[in-house]
Amino acid sequence: MKSFLTKLLIKYRVVVFKKESLEKLGSFYVNNLYITIFFFLIFTLILCLCSLLLVFSPIGSGLFDYSKKKEISELYLHVDSIENLLNLHLDYTENLKLIFNELDTSTSVTNNNIAFSLSALQSKITQQDSSLTRYIQKLDKESVIKYNKDILSKLDISRPTNGIITSSFNIKDGHFGVDIAAEKNTDVYSVLSGVVLFSGYSEDLGNFIVIRHENNFSSIYLHNSVILKNKGDIVKSGEKIALVGSSGILSTAPHLHFEIWSGITPIDPEKYLQFN
């Protein structure tokens, strides 16, 4: 090793002569170390230039076809998104079965502080849904609003969060709820007591949660930063269930998109709740 380093450091004198007259033009000293470093730098420079040509020039695109790789990557993300949505629907279906068909009342959670039990909810939904639907269909618009107000008031409805409404309910535009602007991580509350039907993530909707309530009502909370409840959890009116965020492609700023449904019909939250 010592002899190798010694050889690298040996200096050589290079003398430059004029060819015709052999006149001495000058001289300089070099050693093997300088020569090695010089050629290493040249090699590195050439390697970098070749890499840039392959990445950014048509030559590289022709050899490696980056467009195909990008297309494959996009397809993979698309398939992954579809898989996530499928899992969401499967989870939703399982929770519907839990509440409507397959609820084991012997294992229901019992708590004196809870407004109603899972077994009570199941029996009320089973007995009331069909009759409620028939009754409401016979009412005019104003009577439906009054009916819903009376029921929601008795169920102790509360605001979903503290904020300002920036986009109102509009069925014609496909906006089935209200957008409530609020600071990120502001508390989100369940508007009524109920059971969490779904708690999860969607690429478009972000972190969202769906809660089933008595008297055929459901509430939906979209674009949360964090979800604090899991599917099957029992929640009370005014209980914290999530934090305001801006998750999901359809969200551009921190806000809560809130919907409330009576059966399969979305209803205007501003008619039943005080916001702002």
DSSP state of 71: H
- Residue closest to 88 by CA, chosen among 215, 227, 255: 227
Q: Is 216 left (phi over 0), alpha (psi -120 to 50) or beta?
A: left
In which band, very low, low, confident or very high, does the pLDDT at 118 lie, cut at 50, 70 and 90? very low
DSSP state of 232: T
Return the amino acid letter for 139: L
Pair 144, 152: CB distance under 8 Å: no
In the predicted model, what is the mean pLDDT of residues 227-240?
93
In the predicted model, what is the mean pLDDT of residues 78-84?
64
Say what the pLDDT of residue 110 is.
Answer: 38
Model confidence at 240: pLDDT above 50: yes
Say what the pLDDT of residue 31 is.
Answer: 72
d(CA 218, CA 195): 10
Say what the pLDDT of residue 145 is.
Answer: 79
Phi (first) and psi of residue 175, to 5 degrees: -105, 100
In the predicted model, what is the mean pLDDT of residues 251-263?
91
Alpha-carbon separation of residue 18 from 14, 24, 26, 29, 143 (angstroms) = 13, 6, 10, 18, 111
DSSP state of 274: -
The 10s digit of each residue's pLDDT in 155-177 is: 888 999 999 999 999 988 889 99
- More confident position, 199 or 114: 199
Q: Enumerate residues 6+ apart whose C-beta is below 8 A from 262.
A: 136, 148, 216, 217
In the predicted model, what is the mean pLDDT of residues 221-239?
93
Q: Enumerate residues 6+ apart whose C-beta is below 8 A from 275.
A: 159, 163, 164, 165, 178, 180, 269
Pair 157, 191: CB distance under 8 Å: yes
d(CA 115, CA 54): 67
Say what the pLDDT of residue 188 is.
Answer: 96
In which band, very low, low, confident or very high, does the pLDDT at 100 lie, cut at 50, 70 and 90? very low
In the predicted model, what is the mean pLDDT of residues 263-267?
84
In which band, very low, low, confident or very high, does the pLDDT at 121 lie, cut at 50, 70 and 90? very low
- In the block, which residue shows the tokens 């380093």? 5
The 10s digit of each residue's pLDDT in 19-77 is: 777 777 777 777 777 777 878 888 888 888 877 776 666 666 555 555 555 666 666 66
Q: Which CATH number fits domain 114-271: 2.70.70.10, 3.40.50.2300, 1.10.3720.10, 2.30.30.830?
A: 2.70.70.10
The continuous run of DSSP H or E covering 68 comes out as helix 66-100
Least confident of 10-14, 137-141, 215-219, 224-228: 137-141
d(CA 111, CA 132): 28
Pair 155, 209: CB distance under 8 Å: no
Q: Enumerate residues 6+ apart whose C-beta is below 8 A from 219.
A: 160, 190, 191, 192, 194, 210, 211, 213, 258, 259, 260, 261
State the average pLDDT for the chain: 76
The 10s digit of each residue's pLDDT in 180-228 is: 999 999 999 999 999 998 899 988 889 999 999 888 889 999 999 999 9
- More confident position, 39 or 6: 39
d(CA 247, CA 208): 9
d(CA 132, CA 140): 14
Return residue ranges of the chain for CATH 2.70.70.10.
114-271
